[in-house]
């Protein structure tokens, strides 16, 4: 199966990308790693007349950590480099874990975190953990820069909140509190490298058995990754117990909006949300 015809652009300056995206509009697709775009073109699921590659833009390959500013992941940084980065392994282990379970080694050395998010798949592996860690999306254009919470980027399957001429240039993840704990759990019917049937990310901060902060995000159970807000309300400010975690997990189950597909039925996905949410909460809080 062959790729359709298109014009390929490989700008070397970010200003050239802005100009191309503004002039070409919907006829163009941005390409970072191309691991979703190129197969989609081959299969006829996507189409475009122009591809604008980000591969020559060194400023988009920045990967840095600052205690005050947090982790900065340039839009051109590949998944494998993020997972191997010392501060990610030490301070953002949930993200490293999510990347380790994402596709194959070959894909992880080509795909980018920004691409995984901008593809706006409900089952994007990096979305729930990054949301749980409060990630911010840096959006740039010829008119300047704006930042939005990652939660606001995905507006539907395959759809993101970018205006004409805008591109995602970086993901910024705040420095986790030393006392916080987080975990990511993915369930796939066949293997970990397969697309998730359900994925759950949880971050908690506790003091003397009381929940101070909690973030719970669920993937593959709604048109976009969602926050289990009712479950969080039950937990925040409460004293830890296994029954409390069970109630929160049940609330998360009731909040999700799964559909039956070839991976699992709606009923089974709800069951998985409850089981995996409770398991993640038990891990982060230390409740056995």
Read off φ and ψ for residue 83, nearest 5 degrees. Answer: -65, -30
**pLDDT one-digit tens code per residue, 185-203:** 999 987 666 889 999 999 9
217 and 201 Cβ atoms separated by less than 8 Å = yes
Please tell me whether residues 205 and 151 are part of one structural domain. Answer: no
Please tell me whether residues 154 and 186 are part of one structural domain. Answer: no
**Minimal CA–CA distance to 187: which of 264, 258, 115, 287?**
264
Predicted local confidence at residue 190, as pLDDT: 75
**pLDDT one-digit tens code per residue, 30-63:** 999 999 999 999 999 999 999 999 999 999 999 9
230 and 216 Cβ atoms separated by less than 8 Å = no
Predicted local confidence at residue 191, as pLDDT: 67
Please tell me whether residues 76 and 116 are part of one structural domain. Answer: yes
Please tell me whether residues 163 and 242 are part of one structural domain. Answer: no
Please tell me whether residues 122 and 202 are part of one structural domain. Answer: no
**Domain ends where: 119, 147, 173?**
173
The torsion of the CA quartet 240, 243, 247, 248, rounded to 10 degrees, works out to 30
**Minimal CA–CA distance to 173: which of 282, 239, 91, 50?**
91
**Minimal CA–CA distance to 226: which of 201, 194, 248, 250?**
201
The reply to whether 2 falls in a domain is no
**Domain ends where: 122, 152, 173?**
173
Whole domain around residue 32: which residue ranges?
A: 7-53
Number of domains making up the chain: 3
Predicted local confidence at residue 192, as pLDDT: 64
Please tell me whether residues 25 and 96 are part of one structural domain. Answer: no
Longest C-alpha distance within the chain, in Å?
62
The reply to whether 78 falls in a domain is yes
List beta partners, residue 183: 202
Q: What's the predicted TM-score (pTM) here?
A: 0.95
> Any idea which residue has 């970072």 for tokens?
32
The reply to whether 195 falls in a domain is yes
Low-confidence ranges of the chain (pLDDT < 70): 191-193, 288
Residue 163 to residue 141: CA distance in whole angstroms: 9
Two tokens at 67?
Answer: 């205690």
**Minimal CA–CA distance to 82: which of 10, 32, 14?**
32
CATH code for the domain of 218: 3.30.390.50
**Domain ends where: 122, 141, 173?**
173
């Amino acid at each position: 199966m062959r790729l359709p015809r298109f014009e390929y652009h490989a700008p070397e300056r970010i200003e050239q990308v802005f100009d191309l995206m503004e002039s070409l509009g919907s006829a163009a697709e941005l390409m970072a790693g191309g691991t979703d775009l190129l197969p989609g073109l081959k299969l006829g699921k996507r189409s475009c007349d122009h591809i604008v590659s980000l591969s020559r833009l060194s400023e988009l390959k920045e990967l840095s950590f600052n205690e005050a500013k947090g982790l900065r992941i340039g839009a051109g940084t590949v998944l494998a480099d993020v997972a191997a980065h010392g501060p990610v392994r030490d301070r953002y282990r949930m993200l490293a874990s999510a990347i380790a379970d994402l596709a194959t080694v070959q894909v992880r050395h080509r795909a980018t975190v920004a691409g995984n998010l901008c593809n706006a798949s409900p089952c994007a592996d990096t979305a729930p953990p990054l949301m749980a860690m409060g990630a911010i999306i840096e959006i740039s254009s010829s008119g300047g820069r704006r930042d939005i919470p990652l939660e606001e980027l995905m507006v539907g399957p395959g759809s993101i909140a970018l205006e004409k001429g805008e591109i995602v240039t970086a993901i910024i993840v705040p420095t986790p509190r030393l006392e916080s704990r987080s975990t990511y759990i993915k369930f796939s019917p066949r293997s970990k490298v397969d697309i998730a049937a359900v994925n759950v990310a949880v971050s908690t901060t506790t003091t003397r058995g009381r929940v101070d902060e909690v973030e719970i995000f669920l993937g593959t159970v709604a048109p976009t990754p969602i926050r289990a807000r009712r479950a969080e309300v039950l937990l925040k400010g409460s004293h830890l117990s296994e029954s409390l975690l069970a109630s929160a997990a049940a609330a998360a189950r009731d909040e999700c909006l799964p559909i039956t597909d070839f991976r699992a039925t709606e009923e089974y996905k709800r069951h998985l949300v409850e089981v995996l949410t409770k398991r993640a909460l038990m891990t982060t809080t230390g409740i056995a």
